[in-house]
Amino acid sequence: MTRSVRRTRTLQVAGAGAVALLALSACSSSDSSSSSDAPSGGSSASSAPKLSGTVTVFAAASLKESFTALGKEFEQQHPGTKVAFNFGGSDTLAASITSGAPADVFAAASAKTMKIVTDKKDEGAAPVTFVRNQLEIATLPGNPDKIASLKDLTKSGLKVVLCDKTVPCGAAAQKALTASDLKLTPVSYEQDVKSALTKVELKEADAAVVYKTDVHAAGDKVEGVEFPESAKAVNDYPIAPLKSAPNAAGAKAFIELVTSAEGQKVLSEAGFLKP
Protein backbone atom coordinates (compact mmCIF):
# COMPACT_ATOMS: atom_id res chain seq x y z
CA MET A 1 0.00 0.00 0.00
CA THR A 2 1.34 3.42 -0.97
CA ARG A 3 1.92 6.17 1.52
CA SER A 4 -0.73 8.42 -0.12
CA VAL A 5 -3.44 5.71 0.04
CA ARG A 6 -2.57 5.00 3.67
CA ARG A 7 -2.86 8.67 4.47
CA THR A 8 -6.27 8.94 2.77
CA ARG A 9 -7.70 6.06 4.83
CA THR A 10 -6.35 7.60 8.00
CA LEU A 11 -8.14 10.85 7.21
CA GLN A 12 -11.40 8.93 6.49
CA VAL A 13 -11.25 7.16 9.86
CA ALA A 14 -10.54 10.42 11.63
CA GLY A 15 -13.47 12.05 9.85
CA ALA A 16 -15.82 9.26 10.90
CA GLY A 17 -14.63 9.59 14.49
CA ALA A 18 -15.32 13.31 14.42
CA VAL A 19 -18.87 12.72 13.15
CA ALA A 20 -19.48 10.19 15.92
CA LEU A 21 -18.19 12.62 18.53
CA LEU A 22 -20.48 15.32 17.20
CA ALA A 23 -23.47 12.94 17.38
CA LEU A 24 -22.64 11.99 20.96
CA SER A 25 -22.29 15.61 21.86
CA ALA A 26 -25.69 16.38 20.38
CA CYS A 27 -27.29 13.49 22.33
CA SER A 28 -25.59 14.62 25.50
CA SER A 29 -26.86 18.16 24.95
CA SER A 30 -30.39 16.82 24.32
CA ASP A 31 -30.29 14.65 27.48
CA SER A 32 -28.97 17.56 29.49
CA SER A 33 -31.79 19.73 28.19
CA SER A 34 -34.37 17.03 29.04
CA SER A 35 -33.01 16.52 32.54
CA SER A 36 -32.98 20.25 33.16
CA ASP A 37 -36.62 20.38 32.05
CA ALA A 38 -37.64 17.59 34.49
CA PRO A 39 -37.28 19.61 37.68
CA SER A 40 -39.21 22.41 36.04
CA GLY A 41 -42.12 20.05 35.35
CA GLY A 42 -41.89 18.67 38.89
CA SER A 43 -41.98 22.11 40.46
CA SER A 44 -45.03 22.93 38.33
CA ALA A 45 -46.88 19.89 39.73
CA SER A 46 -45.88 20.73 43.28
CA SER A 47 -46.95 24.33 42.84
CA ALA A 48 -50.63 23.29 43.24
CA PRO A 49 -52.11 25.23 46.16
CA LYS A 50 -51.76 23.46 49.49
CA LEU A 51 -55.05 22.81 51.28
CA SER A 52 -55.57 24.42 54.66
CA GLY A 53 -58.29 25.49 57.06
CA THR A 54 -61.54 23.81 58.04
CA VAL A 55 -63.80 21.88 55.66
CA THR A 56 -67.36 21.95 57.01
CA VAL A 57 -69.46 18.96 55.94
CA PHE A 58 -73.22 18.69 56.50
CA ALA A 59 -74.06 14.99 56.21
CA ALA A 60 -76.94 12.59 56.80
CA ALA A 61 -76.83 10.95 60.24
CA SER A 62 -76.39 7.50 58.70
CA LEU A 63 -72.99 8.59 57.35
CA LYS A 64 -71.58 9.39 60.79
CA GLU A 65 -69.22 6.45 61.27
CA SER A 66 -67.88 6.21 57.72
CA PHE A 67 -67.53 9.97 57.19
CA THR A 68 -65.79 10.40 60.54
CA ALA A 69 -63.22 7.82 59.42
CA LEU A 70 -62.83 9.56 56.05
CA GLY A 71 -62.46 12.91 57.80
CA LYS A 72 -59.49 11.60 59.78
CA GLU A 73 -57.97 10.20 56.61
CA PHE A 74 -58.42 13.55 54.87
CA GLU A 75 -56.65 15.38 57.70
CA GLN A 76 -53.73 12.94 57.49
CA GLN A 77 -53.46 13.40 53.73
CA HIS A 78 -53.62 17.20 54.06
CA PRO A 79 -51.74 18.39 57.15
CA GLY A 80 -53.06 21.71 58.37
CA THR A 81 -56.67 20.92 57.51
CA LYS A 82 -59.59 20.01 59.78
CA VAL A 83 -62.90 18.43 58.82
CA ALA A 84 -65.88 19.59 60.91
CA PHE A 85 -69.09 17.57 60.60
CA ASN A 86 -72.72 18.41 61.23
CA PHE A 87 -74.68 15.14 61.18
CA GLY A 88 -78.47 15.07 61.26
CA GLY A 89 -81.67 14.55 59.35
CA SER A 90 -81.11 15.44 55.70
CA ASP A 91 -84.20 17.65 55.54
CA THR A 92 -83.08 19.67 58.57
CA LEU A 93 -79.57 20.08 57.18
CA ALA A 94 -80.93 21.15 53.78
CA ALA A 95 -83.14 23.76 55.44
CA SER A 96 -80.15 25.10 57.37
CA ILE A 97 -78.12 25.41 54.18
CA THR A 98 -80.85 27.25 52.29
CA SER A 99 -81.19 29.56 55.32
CA GLY A 100 -77.55 30.56 54.99
CA ALA A 101 -75.70 28.22 57.37
CA PRO A 102 -72.00 28.24 56.37
CA ALA A 103 -70.95 24.86 54.96
CA ASP A 104 -68.67 23.51 52.24
CA VAL A 105 -70.21 20.12 51.42
CA PHE A 106 -73.68 18.59 51.66
CA ALA A 107 -74.16 14.80 51.62
CA ALA A 108 -77.84 13.83 51.72
CA ALA A 109 -79.58 10.51 52.24
CA SER A 110 -81.93 11.04 49.31
CA ALA A 111 -82.21 12.90 46.03
CA LYS A 112 -85.38 14.55 47.35
CA THR A 113 -83.61 16.27 50.22
CA MET A 114 -80.70 17.31 47.98
CA LYS A 115 -83.32 18.91 45.70
CA ILE A 116 -84.19 21.30 48.53
CA VAL A 117 -80.69 22.75 48.08
CA THR A 118 -80.52 22.57 44.29
CA ASP A 119 -83.94 24.21 43.89
CA LYS A 120 -82.45 27.24 45.66
CA LYS A 121 -79.37 26.96 43.41
CA ASP A 122 -77.15 26.71 46.50
CA GLU A 123 -75.01 23.92 45.06
CA GLY A 124 -71.57 24.72 43.66
CA ALA A 125 -71.59 21.79 41.19
CA ALA A 126 -74.01 19.09 40.12
CA PRO A 127 -74.63 16.51 42.89
CA VAL A 128 -73.11 13.05 42.40
CA THR A 129 -74.59 9.83 43.79
CA PHE A 130 -71.79 8.17 45.77
CA VAL A 131 -73.57 5.31 47.60
CA ARG A 132 -76.97 3.72 48.17
CA ASN A 133 -78.57 2.40 51.35
CA GLN A 134 -81.23 -0.16 52.20
CA LEU A 135 -83.56 -0.53 55.15
CA GLU A 136 -83.41 -3.19 57.85
CA ILE A 137 -85.35 -3.84 61.05
CA ALA A 138 -83.37 -3.30 64.25
CA THR A 139 -84.60 -5.40 67.18
CA LEU A 140 -83.45 -5.93 70.75
CA PRO A 141 -80.44 -8.27 71.06
CA GLY A 142 -81.54 -11.87 70.61
CA ASN A 143 -84.75 -10.71 68.89
CA PRO A 144 -86.97 -11.70 71.87
CA ASP A 145 -90.17 -10.73 70.02
CA LYS A 146 -89.32 -13.12 67.18
CA ILE A 147 -89.69 -10.46 64.50
CA ALA A 148 -89.12 -12.07 61.11
CA SER A 149 -90.89 -9.75 58.68
CA LEU A 150 -92.16 -6.23 58.13
CA LYS A 151 -95.68 -7.50 58.85
CA ASP A 152 -94.57 -8.66 62.32
CA LEU A 153 -94.08 -5.00 63.27
CA THR A 154 -97.86 -4.56 63.22
CA LYS A 155 -98.31 -6.99 66.14
CA SER A 156 -100.41 -5.59 68.96
CA GLY A 157 -98.39 -4.34 71.93
CA LEU A 158 -95.12 -4.11 70.01
CA LYS A 159 -93.34 -0.77 70.45
CA VAL A 160 -91.97 0.27 67.08
CA VAL A 161 -90.12 3.47 66.18
CA LEU A 162 -89.89 5.03 62.72
CA CYS A 163 -88.03 8.02 61.32
CA ASP A 164 -90.21 11.03 60.59
CA LYS A 165 -91.83 10.89 57.15
CA THR A 166 -89.90 14.00 56.05
CA VAL A 167 -86.58 12.25 56.74
CA PRO A 168 -85.21 9.93 54.00
CA CYS A 169 -85.26 6.80 56.21
CA GLY A 170 -88.85 7.58 57.21
CA ALA A 171 -89.94 8.19 53.62
CA ALA A 172 -88.31 4.91 52.59
CA ALA A 173 -90.05 3.03 55.42
CA GLN A 174 -93.42 4.44 54.36
CA LYS A 175 -92.72 3.40 50.79
CA ALA A 176 -91.94 -0.17 51.91
CA LEU A 177 -95.07 -0.30 54.09
CA THR A 178 -97.26 1.00 51.26
CA ALA A 179 -95.77 -1.55 48.84
CA SER A 180 -96.68 -4.26 51.36
CA ASP A 181 -100.15 -2.82 51.97
CA LEU A 182 -99.35 -2.54 55.69
CA LYS A 183 -100.34 0.12 58.19
CA LEU A 184 -98.14 0.78 61.19
CA THR A 185 -98.60 3.25 64.03
CA PRO A 186 -95.24 3.79 65.74
CA VAL A 187 -94.82 4.88 69.35
CA SER A 188 -92.74 7.78 68.03
CA TYR A 189 -91.37 9.40 64.90
CA GLU A 190 -87.72 10.41 65.19
CA GLN A 191 -85.93 13.28 63.44
CA ASP A 192 -83.05 11.14 62.19
CA VAL A 193 -82.09 7.49 61.86
CA LYS A 194 -79.64 7.52 64.78
CA SER A 195 -82.36 8.74 67.14
CA ALA A 196 -84.64 5.91 66.01
CA LEU A 197 -81.90 3.35 66.56
CA THR A 198 -81.05 4.76 69.99
CA LYS A 199 -84.62 4.05 71.17
CA VAL A 200 -83.97 0.34 70.60
CA GLU A 201 -80.46 0.45 72.08
CA LEU A 202 -81.91 1.99 75.26
CA LYS A 203 -84.74 -0.60 75.25
CA GLU A 204 -87.31 2.20 74.96
CA ALA A 205 -88.64 0.46 71.85
CA ASP A 206 -88.83 -3.15 70.69
CA ALA A 207 -87.88 -2.42 67.10
CA ALA A 208 -87.10 0.34 64.62
CA VAL A 209 -86.90 0.55 60.84
CA VAL A 210 -83.47 1.97 60.08
CA TYR A 211 -80.68 1.48 57.54
CA LYS A 212 -78.52 -1.61 57.26
CA THR A 213 -75.49 0.60 57.87
CA ASP A 214 -76.88 1.70 61.24
CA VAL A 215 -77.52 -1.87 62.35
CA HIS A 216 -73.96 -2.69 61.26
CA ALA A 217 -72.54 0.26 63.22
CA ALA A 218 -74.49 -0.65 66.37
CA GLY A 219 -72.73 -4.01 66.67
CA ASP A 220 -74.20 -6.27 69.34
CA LYS A 221 -76.42 -3.52 70.78
CA VAL A 222 -79.17 -4.55 68.34
CA GLU A 223 -80.02 -7.40 66.01
CA GLY A 224 -80.85 -6.89 62.34
CA VAL A 225 -83.73 -8.46 60.45
CA GLU A 226 -83.79 -8.14 56.68
CA PHE A 227 -87.09 -7.92 54.80
CA PRO A 228 -87.63 -8.25 51.02
CA GLU A 229 -89.80 -5.12 50.73
CA SER A 230 -86.71 -3.01 51.48
CA ALA A 231 -85.54 -3.62 47.91
CA LYS A 232 -88.39 -1.37 46.75
CA ALA A 233 -87.18 1.53 48.88
CA VAL A 234 -83.45 1.86 48.33
CA ASN A 235 -82.11 5.40 48.80
CA ASP A 236 -79.50 7.06 46.61
CA TYR A 237 -77.06 9.31 48.50
CA PRO A 238 -75.95 12.43 46.57
CA ILE A 239 -73.05 14.72 47.53
CA ALA A 240 -72.24 18.23 46.28
CA PRO A 241 -70.04 21.21 47.08
CA LEU A 242 -71.94 24.34 48.06
CA LYS A 243 -71.92 27.57 46.09
CA SER A 244 -71.08 29.72 49.11
CA ALA A 245 -68.44 27.27 50.44
CA PRO A 246 -65.89 29.15 52.60
CA ASN A 247 -63.33 26.47 51.65
CA ALA A 248 -64.11 25.58 48.02
CA ALA A 249 -60.77 23.84 47.42
CA GLY A 250 -61.21 21.74 50.54
CA ALA A 251 -64.79 20.85 49.54
CA LYS A 252 -63.61 19.61 46.14
CA ALA A 253 -60.82 17.54 47.69
CA PHE A 254 -63.12 15.96 50.30
CA ILE A 255 -65.64 14.92 47.66
CA GLU A 256 -62.80 13.45 45.60
CA LEU A 257 -61.80 11.33 48.61
CA VAL A 258 -65.39 10.15 49.18
CA THR A 259 -65.79 9.09 45.54
CA SER A 260 -62.29 7.58 45.24
CA ALA A 261 -61.59 3.84 45.45
CA GLU A 262 -60.29 4.39 48.98
CA GLY A 263 -63.44 6.23 50.05
CA GLN A 264 -65.71 3.68 48.43
CA LYS A 265 -63.94 0.89 50.29
CA VAL A 266 -64.62 2.56 53.65
CA LEU A 267 -68.28 3.09 52.74
CA SER A 268 -68.67 -0.47 51.44
CA GLU A 269 -67.21 -1.89 54.65
CA ALA A 270 -69.80 0.16 56.57
CA GLY A 271 -72.59 -1.63 54.68
CA PHE A 272 -73.39 0.89 51.96
CA LEU A 273 -74.25 -0.29 48.47
CA LYS A 274 -72.41 0.86 45.36
CA PRO A 275 -74.12 3.70 43.44
Domain extent at residue 69: 53-132+236-269
Give the mean pLDDT per block of 10 residues along the chain (275 residues): 42 41 39 38 47 97 98 97 97 97 98 97 97 98 97 96 96 94 95 96 98 96 96 95 97 98 97 95
User: Residue 3 phi/psi, 5° resolution?
Assistant: -65, -35
**pLDDT at site 49:** 67
Confidence (pTM): 0.81
42 within some domain: no
Number of compact structural domains in the chain:
2
**CATH classification at residue 97:** 3.40.190.10
Dihedral angle of Cα 180, 182, 186, 189, to the nearest 10 degrees: 50
Q: Could you tell me which residues are beta bridge partners of residue 56?
A: 84
- Same domain flag for 112 and 146: no
Q: What is the DSSP string of 224-249?
A: EE--GGGGGSPEEEEEEEBTT-TTHH
Give the C-alpha separation, 33 to 31, whole Å. Answer: 5
**pLDDT at site 23:** 40
- Same domain flag for 114 and 177: no
Q: Could you tell me which residues are beta bridge partners of residue 20?
A: none
Question: Are the beta carbons of 263 and 237 closer than 8 angstroms?
Answer: no
25 within some domain: no
**pLDDT at site 2:** 40
- Same domain flag for 120 and 243: yes
- Same domain flag for 140 and 224: yes
Question: Are the beta carbons of 182 and 161 closer than 8 angstroms?
Answer: no
- Same domain flag for 156 and 84: no
16 within some domain: no
- Same domain flag for 225 and 243: no
**pLDDT at site 48:** 52
- Same domain flag for 125 and 248: yes
21 within some domain: no
